[in-house]
Amino acid sequence: MSLSTDPVANLPARRVVEAESAVAWHALPPDEIYRRLETSAAGLTSTEAALRLARDGYNVLPEPPRRQLLGIVIGQLRSPLIYLLLGAAALSLGMGEFSDAVFVFLVLAINTGLGTWQEARAEASSAALRSVVQARARARRDGTLVSLDGRELVAGDIVVLEAGDRVPADLRLIASAELRVDESTLTGESMAAEKSAGQPLPVETPLSDRLNCLYAGSLVRAGRGVGVVAATGRATALGQIAAVLEQKQPEPPIIKRLNRFSRTLGLASLALVVAVVGFRLLGGAELRETLFVAIALAISVIPEGLPVSVTVALSIAAGRMARRNVVVRQLPAVEGLGACTVIATDKTGTLTVNQLTAKRVWLPGHGVIAIGGEGLHPEGEFVALDGDHDGRDHAMRKLGRSAALVNDAVYDPALGRRGANGDAVDVALLVLAAKAALETDKLREATPRVAELAFSSERKFAASLNLHAEEHHLHVKGAPEVILPFCAGIDVDAVMAEAEAMAAAGHRVLAVATKAIAAANGDPLEAELHNLVLLGLVGFIDPLRPEARQAVADCHRAGVAVKMITGDHAATALAIARELGIAQTVDEVVTGRDIAAAMGDATALARIAAASVFARVEPRQKVEIVEALRAAGHFVAMTGDGVNDAPALTRADIGIAMGRDGSDAAREAADLVLTDDNFASIVAGIEEGRAAYANIRKVVYLLISTGVAEAAMFLLAMFSGLPLPLGAVQLLWLNLVTNGGQDVALAFEKPEPGLLNRPPRRPSEPIFDRVMIRQTALSGLYMGVVAYGFFAWALAQGIEEAAARDLLLFLMVLFENVQVFNARSETRSAFGVPASNNWLLIAAVVFAQSAQIAAPFIPGLRDVLVVQPIPPAMWLAMLAIALSLLAVMEADKAWARRRPRAA
């Protein structure tokens, strides 16, 4: 065995380095940082770097464990109901009844195959978090700037960054120049953040406001920076997200309900079988005959078709949800979305279109103008809201011309979003210019730039000096409070009031001004920043999706609260929430600082759970919001698109990721993925989730009621001294073949009207509630008693035992055919549910009858089932008996509709 010559190639997996992230690096001056990290501005030596790498390990994130196919298969078999069926199959094998065992194993194989196929198809194949960090980095080693593998960085390295670089580790800036960084992977906000080495910041400064720090996975959009590595690998902010993703997720409610129901059913079945076996043995019955009775009784009460039907119901709903732009990664999440009581959603890209757009312009002398159009499309009308219309178009073109020239972005109107590149504000200004019929490329070619002042966080404005024919024009854009004092001939206070009104409506406001200069005199541009002509104010906003307001209203109608989470300031967030109908007053807004101060305070945590808007929120606080909501008793669905959202998606009861603009990490952490990144699709998912749960209840009702009928029939026959009404194979035929197709087809029922007009059910609500208990008991006992009476009558008429069982089997098939129509709705009449809603169910009923009629004519099957052809007159008589069940249940539903509280 040989070892690599690479000094770090044979290192063990990285251990956790907690100390790196435990220090508030943003609050320390550079000298103290150097001292603590035992480094200097010249960087580390290669020897010291190798020692630290050996101690701390590679700068990589742990790859999350992937689910293997075998693990998915085993997961499908972990259910108390599955254990019951396996026990019955094993007992059948032990008794030599191979046909019984084959039937049970067949249904288990179908269920396992369906569930495995759905979940294996959804498993992602990429390690998303590992792909976020760039492969190469430039660092100072031995006093020289070198390019190295980003995973070899260690705490204390000095890293140099420029536009286009991916930040390879968490850094504390020690030098910067016009640095702007896209931190959307962590903060979720599309606007590039301005960064500066600057002075130390207060310890409590939230991550989104730490101007002197850069975080792994972020992208440098403009400028340059030099930083010292403060944290690597798992100790980075990105690494802490990865650690949260490794924690166990909450168990879906449908799994809890089914497990609880299966345990109850299993114990009841076991108790019944034990009691019957004991009763027969004490009565002197033979052991072998008693075991046959036990197997038959167990098969009658265990709903063998339930696992398949539940899987089919969830798979069908998953398919419908996919057609409505919701892709299901975990089957139980289908029903879980329908149970959610709260949706905690990101604002950017989910409620909004995630494309900064100029929507308002204020022109001196012309008032406020609304800008039509959405996103990066160049179409849009100008609609004057007040002021003088004369000369308005000319004034708008002048503003658009200056905004396009003091601008470094690129925008091709013909390509729309695909043709845009650069700072989001600059791109939005170019779109505004295109709406004013300006051709930016020709404009820039005709008026070349000769000097500029780049935008910076200290300056808060940018300026461009362009040559216009024989003179120079200075074009300036920036914060109104900075630009307005440079302007002449305006009432600064009045214009600031216009800017504040725009800001209060949720807009980010920019002032644009210009000035003609006869000739460039060589003075710095700062010297010309006086007597500017104000061209106007531009208000930018990430527009709401057109369907977002209605979607929020639909959620409220369905009893689902909507909570908006954003990195925006509180005032901006409240303005947007008001427009959406999420919140109305400032009391409904909680900030990131409030959340930080509330930890451990029960009263404050209750206020967090009651809030509707969360502003200036850090990534880790999204997890705390989810936990506070869950602690308040909510079943929480959380949406997100960035790496920063992945931990909250994991902790939420239902995680929903964006599919189009979302990160791989978010999609892997989520249970559901929105392919159109549209909040309205969640509402469609809620409806389908509720429909899936309703269909599962219908299947449970059908299977348990027929099981009760079979058990009642058996017990009555046994205690009255009659022979076994049906054999084990006949019961399996009844449960898995004739009824098996019906219960699967019942899972295809379309959503009933009014599903979104009801409040969500409690997560702890049992599947078998009072309504279902009443209906199951009534229908099951009715079928069981009538079937027993019919069997007793047939024997009393001198009909042979085998022939009586044959008639009884046919009657039970007819009962099941009728009961499936009763099961189509818990409250509506069977005659009120159109057959066209589920033609597959009609086909399943026809198949069940056809199979039973054809069985006596099929060699082999006739002998196994011990059946003979039934005279038409007898078939009609038994049909009339079976239809009496429909009359009984219609009467029950009518009574329940008149007395809802009694239901």
Q: What is the pLDDT of residue 45?
A: 93
Q: Please enumerate in sequence order all residues whose Cβ is within 8 A of that of 626, keeping only pairs 6 or more positions apart, or say none.
A: 344, 636, 638, 648, 651, 652
Distance of CA 645 to the CA centre of its chain: 10
Report which of 887, 876, 899 is spatially closest to residue 822, judged by C-alpha positions.
887
Lookup: tokens for 392? 């308005």
Which string of DSSP letters, residue by residue, matches 695-744?
A: HHHHHHHHHHHHHHHHHHHHHHHHHTTPPPSS-HHHHHIIIIIIHHHHHH
Which residue would you say has higher pLDDT here, 230 or 602?
Answer: 230
> Would you say residue 362 has pLDDT above 80?
yes
> Would you say residue 393 has pLDDT above 90?
no
User: Using the 8-state DSSP alphabet, how is residue 558 labeled?
Assistant: T
Q: How far is CA 204 from CA 24, 209, 210, 239, in A?
A: 9, 10, 10, 21
Q: Which residue has the tokens 């007597």?
A: 531
Lookup: tokens for 59? 């700068």
Q: How far is CA 14 from CA 2, 138, 231, 771, in A?
A: 22, 22, 13, 56
Give the pLDDT confidence of 467-481 residue by residue, as tens digits: 987 789 999 999 999
Average the pLDDT over each of 77-86, 123-132, 506-515 and give the range with the smallest value: 123-132
Q: What is the pLDDT of residue 406?
A: 95
Report which of 207, 189, 329 is spatially closest to residue 659, judged by C-alpha positions.
329
Give the separation between CA 545 and CA 680, rounded to whole angstroms.
Answer: 9
Q: What is the pLDDT of residue 129?
A: 37
> Would you say residue 161 has pLDDT above 50?
yes
Mean of pLDDT values over 381-395: 79
> Would you say residue 879 has pLDDT above 70?
yes
Q: What is the pLDDT of residue 115?
A: 62
Mean of pLDDT values over 163-191: 82
Q: Is 423 a catalytic residue?
A: no
Q: Strand 461-468 and strand 219-231: pairing? A: unpaired
Q: What is the pLDDT of residue 380?
A: 87
Give the separation between CA 321 and CA 674, rounded to whole angstroms.
Answer: 10
| Angle at alpha carbon of residue 129, lines to 124 and 131, rounded to 5° | 90
Amino acid letter, 580: L
Q: Which residue has the tokens 């010309």?
A: 528
Q: How far is CA 90 from CA 108, 144, 276, 853, in A?
A: 13, 73, 20, 31
In the CATH scheme, what is the code of domain 19-63+133-245? 2.70.150.10
> Rg (Cα) of the chain, in Å, rounded?
35
Amino acid letter, 387: G
Give the separation between CA 406 and CA 452, rounded to whole angstroms.
Answer: 8
Which string of DSSP letters, residue by residue, matches 571-613?
A: HHHHHHHHHHTS--SGGGEEEHHHHHHHTT-HHHHHHHHH-SE
Mean of pLDDT values over 168-173: 93
Give bridge partners of residue 477 from the DSSP assignment.
462, 512
Lookup: tokens for 464? 């461009």
Average the pLDDT over each of 502-511, 723-732, 780-789, 893-902 and give the range with the smallest value: 893-902
Q: Please enumerate in sequence order all residues whose Cβ is within 8 A of that of 115, keeping only pairs 6 or more positions apart, or say none.
A: 72, 75, 76, 311, 331
Mean pLDDT of the chain: 83
Three-state secondary structure string covering 212-263: CEECCCCEEEEEEEEEEEEECHHHCHHHHHHHHHCCCCCCCHHHHHHHHHHH
Give bridge partners of residue 226 from the DSSP assignment.
160, 175
Give the separation between CA 378 and CA 389, rounded to whole angstroms.
Answer: 22
Provide the pLDDT confidence category of residue 5 given band limits of 50, 70 and 90: very low
Mean of pLDDT values over 475-497: 95
Helix (H, G, I), strand (E, B) or coil at 361: strand
Q: How far is CA 862 from CA 248, 296, 729, in A?
A: 52, 19, 12
> Would you say residue 408 has pLDDT above 80?
yes
Q: Please enumerate in sequence order all residues whose Cβ is within 8 A of that of 461, keeping only pairs 6 or more positions apart, or say none.
A: 453, 455, 476, 477, 478, 479, 482, 483
In the CATH scheme, what is the code of domain 73-117+250-325+688-902? 1.20.1110.10
Give the separation between CA 135 and CA 71, rounded to whole angstroms.
Answer: 32
Provide the pLDDT confidence category of residue 69 given band limits of 50, 70 and 90: confident
Q: How far is CA 227 from CA 23, 29, 33, 128, in A?
A: 16, 13, 11, 26
Q: What is the pLDDT of residue 132?
A: 42
| pTM for the structure as a whole | 0.72
Phi, psi of 156 (to 5 degrees): 105, -15
Average the pLDDT over each of 375-379, 487-491, 612-616, 889-893 and give the range with the smallest value: 375-379
User: Using the 8-state DSSP alphabet, how is residue 286 labeled?
Assistant: -
The full set of domain ranges for the chain reads 19-63+133-245, 73-117+250-325+688-902, 332-352+546-677, 359-539
721 burial (CB, 10 Å; 0-12 / 13-18 / 19+) is exposed
> Would you say residue 252 has pLDDT above 80?
no
Report which of 682, 666, 663, 665 is spatially closest to residue 674, judged by C-alpha positions.
682
Distance of CA 528 to the CA centre of its chain: 53
Give the pLDDT confidence of 666-685 residue by residue, as tens digits: 777 788 988 888 888 999 89
Residue 750, phi-psi category: left (phi > 0), alpha (psi -120 to 50), beta (remainder): beta
Q: What is the pLDDT of residue 781?
A: 96
Give the pLDDT confidence of 274-306 residue by residue, as tens digits: 887 788 788 777 777 777 677 667 766 777 667
Provide the pLDDT confidence category of residue 17 given band limits of 50, 70 and 90: very low
> Would you say residue 37 has pLDDT above 90?
yes
Q: What is the pLDDT of residue 342?
A: 96
| Alpha-helix runs per DSSP H in 823-871 | 839-854, 861-865
Average the pLDDT over each of 378-382, 431-435, 663-667, 720-724 and give the range with the smallest value: 663-667
Q: Strand 654-658 and strand 636-640: pairing? A: parallel
Q: What is the pLDDT of residue 686?
A: 92
| Angle at alpha carbon of residue 749, lines to 745 and 755, rounded to 5° | 155
Max mean pLDDT among 107-116, 235-244, 291-300 falls in: 235-244
Give the separation between CA 21 and CA 111, rounded to whole angstroms.
Answer: 47
- Count of CA atoms in the C-beta half-sphere (13 A) of 331: 23
Catalytic option among 170, 346, 542, 641: 346
Give the separation between CA 305 and CA 733, rounded to whole angstroms.
Answer: 12
| Residues in the chain, overall count | 903
Fold (topology level) of 332-352+546-677: Rossmann fold (3.40.50)
Helix (H, G, I), strand (E, B) or coil at 135: coil
Q: Strand 561-565 and strand 342-346: pairing? A: parallel
Average the pLDDT over each of 446-460, 563-577, 727-741, 867-881 and give the range with the smallest value: 727-741
Average the pLDDT over each of 5-9, 34-38, 65-69, 222-226 and give the range with the smallest value: 5-9
Q: Strand 449-453 and strand 420-421: pairing? A: unpaired
Q: What is the pLDDT of residue 127?
A: 37
> Would you say residue 607 has pLDDT above 70?
yes
Query: Looking at domain 359-539, what is its CATH homologous superfamily?
Result: Calcium-transporting ATPase, cytoplasmic domain N (3.40.1110.10)
Q: What is the pLDDT of residue 351?
A: 87
Give the separation between CA 855 and CA 733, rounded to whole angstroms.
Answer: 11
Sign of CA pseudo-dihedral 756, 759, 763, 768: negative
Q: What is the pLDDT of residue 497?
A: 95
Report which of 606, 605, 623 is spatially closest to residue 565, judged by C-alpha positions.
623
Neighbours of 839 (CB within 10 A): 11
Lookup: tokens for 788? 């027993």
Give the pLDDT confidence of 409-444 residue by residue, as tens digits: 888 887 766 678 888 899 999 999 999 999 998 999
Q: How far is CA 435 from CA 357, 430, 471, in A?
A: 12, 9, 27
Q: What is the pLDDT of residue 583?
A: 93
Q: What is the pLDDT of residue 846?
A: 94
Provide the pLDDT confidence category of residue 317 given band limits of 50, 70 and 90: confident
Provide the pLDDT confidence category of residue 4 given band limits of 50, 70 and 90: very low
Q: 798-803: long-range contacts (C-beta < 8 A, 24 or more apart)?
A: 801/723, 802/866, 803/868
Sign of CA pseudo-dihedral 55, 56, 60, 65: positive
